[in-house]
Chains A and B, each alone.
Chain A
């Protein structure tokens, strides 16, 4: 008979063993899969590392992918810390990108630094307000924010699609449904092919670390996440704090949208997020809501994706197979979480 119980007594050594076991299991299982495909697992793993870190180009792509993941994860972690399950980062990214693009497309004659600041502010407002809608309904009517934020994603994506195919369509694109590229004044500057979003992401990690662990507001958010009753008991204005935290959560996701539009895509499109809002939920969780860990996990995750892309080219394996590899590695790493939280007891049989 099996019994599952919560673990409280995990030692450091067991923790490391479990994590290592997960990685080894993942490599082993994926290895079988690779063998079935007729490839050499060692060569594939090696190529994945090489693709992610092995050249300046690969490393740069990994970093560029890490940037929005980190910022979005920081946003999600703010909400998660409060046990507000914000699954709506994807939509908040789009709405942030939309708000920034409005200024990029219509006011590109502003001086560049000023325009970029306006775009950033707009994206924070866009993402924040978009997140506030489910937040308001949760606070007022107790609606389930998980479903609500998820549904809001579809609305946001359809809104961008509408803009791209309708009112914002570039008249110079021969009828093709694309939005005009941003003018130079609306493009984030960069260095050696990496846009300035890297600096923003690093600064945000530091700021969010201070915010979460060393400010009153951060402390209040943690307490509310633990127990709203306790927060009220301690004299906190719970609703006000929830609203502020949700605004911050959505705002950060929105900023990630602006950075993707301005720094990577050079315009707004329905591909501007491409699932970052969902991926970031995984990195937030694996990063245990801690800014420093989130940065690390996001970087490793980006490396996994970059490595997966690289092996498609080098080994000419189908895109689906590369996705399966990434999925299996994730499965085991996330799966080990279960064994860290719980233990399984095998009961002795008896009469």
Chain B
């Protein structure tokens, strides 16, 4: 008997849907730009996704364009579905903001030649698909200066997500920054093996604090590490977003993304008809990245040192990965007169730590 009921319900549902589809079909809009974003986390994650979300709102304010987003979209085929739904809802510019969206974005770009796509943190492009990322190692280096000046134990903790080039070059840049002001300090690395999981991140931070670290930084998406530092009376450097309120007694600064700068630049070009697909990477100079203002917790002498280094980075006199750079065992990895550029730091060859890092990269085929 229940068979009957369910089938009746199904018929009703189908009938309703047929009636209503008549009014549907609001596909591409009339020349107006409508921008859709696909986010990996929730928009208020206090980290990676929130930084992009802030960029989206900046774009909306600056150019008065319509925007849409989907949050908590898993990587893989789910993300392609989200992209399609945004296009169906009238979006003709799509930003996808996680590495795992790369292939689905590329597929969607091929299927929708009139829509313009932007994929963050990947390496593939197409006629109508750009990719974009930044030289995070620049503000990382600056944050290393702050940590190097602050530490008393000369042990600095670094909670890191995964053994990938983006993370490794961040650790190296940070360590180089630390050693530029404090050659005796070491950076201890612990892998959390998650992008966002407060419990795991906190556990890794606590282990580092137990190990004697008095300054903690991180390459993860939550604020758990600052909170762990504050609970232990230690100090913290954040990531992604300027979040002093999360742990006011511990928080000193953070290397932060200003995605809005890029979003405005690109959408403006589309509106003006001058846009071309490209692989973009910005840094402090372009305004895409910066070090957040130092709080009162930060060492007083850091401000001038950071300011000086920042200027040199902008004018090109300071390059983070300029040789000679030695690896953990003392071998010269970057010889005198050679400098690693952005592509080098994001390549598979970035599988080693600079001298001063305590930690291991599991070597994989």
Contact = CB atoms under 8 A, between A and B. Distances in A.
Tell which of A167, A174, A264 has the most Cβ of chain B within 10 Å.
A174
A55 B123 CA distance: 34
Contacts of A266: 77
Nearest to B365: A171
B99 A176 contact: yes
B266 interface: no
Given A175-B165, A274-B74, A313-B68, A296 B20 contact: no
Tell which of B84, B166, B364 has the most Cβ of chain A within 10 Å.
B364
Contact of B162 (A165, A274, A288, A299): A165
A301 to B, nearest CB: 11
Contacts of A299: 10
Given A165-B162, A274-B78, A50 B20 contact: yes
Contact of B81 (A52, A61, A292): A61
A177 B162 contact: yes
A310 B21 contact: no
A89 interface: no
A54 B19 CA distance: 9
Q: For the side of the interface on A, what is the size category?
A: 35 or more
B30 interface: no
Interface in B1-56: 1-7, 9-10, 13-14, 16-18, 20-21, 24-25, 42-43
A61 B83 CA distance: 13
B43 to A, nearest CB: 8
Q: For the side of the interface on B, what is the size category?
A: 35 or more
Interface string A254-287: 0000000000111001011010000000000000
Interface in A140-182: 165-167, 169, 171, 174-178, 181
A292 B163 CA distance: 48
A171 B81 CA distance: 27
A175 B99 CA distance: 11
Interface in B100-155: 100, 103, 123
Interface stretch (B85-93, B177-185, B236-244, B278-286): B85-93
Nearest to B13: A49
A50 B17 contact: yes
B76 A265 contact: yes
Contacts of B17: 49-50, 52-54
A169 B163 CA distance: 12
Contact of B164 (A53, A177, A310): A177
A310 B76 contact: no
Nearest to B86: A313
A299 B13 CA distance: 12
Interface stretch (A1-9, A222-230, A314-322): A314-322
Contact of A174 (B21, B24, B81, B165): B165
A183 to B, nearest CB: 14
Contacts of B5: 15-16, 19-20
A19 B42 CA distance: 35
A168 to B, nearest CB: 10
B360 to A, nearest CB: 15
B25 to A, nearest CB: 8
B346 interface: yes
Given A176-B99, A264-B77, A319 B82 contact: no
A103 B88 CA distance: 37
B99 A54 contact: no
A266 B78 CA distance: 12
B13 A300 contact: yes
A54 B21 contact: yes
B165 A12 contact: no
Interface string A287-320: 0101011001101100100000110111010111
A331 interface: no
B194 to A, nearest CB: 10
A78 B85 CA distance: 36
Nearest to B79: A271
Nearest to B361: A175
A303 B10 CA distance: 11
A49 B20 CA distance: 8
A22 to B, nearest CB: 11
Contacts of A19: 2, 5, 9
B6 A316 contact: no
A265 B86 CA distance: 20
A219 interface: no
A314 B350 CA distance: 42
Tell which of B21, B75, B165 has the most Cβ of chain A within 10 Å.
B21
24 contacts: A15-B1, A16-B4, A50-B20, A53-B14, A53-B18, A54-B21, A57-B88, A165-B193, A174-B123, A174-B347, A175-B350, A178-B100, A265-B76, A269-B75, A271-B78, A274-B74, A290-B3, A293-B3, A313-B68, A313-B86, A318-B42, A318-B43, A319-B70, A320-B42
7 closest A-B pairs by beta carbon, nearest first, are A53-B17, A175-B164, A313-B85, A54-B21, A319-B72, A49-B17, A271-B76
Given A15-B1, A53-B18, A293-B3, 8 more contacts: A19-B9, A49-B17, A55-B25, A165-B162, A175-B162, A300-B10, A310-B85, A319-B70
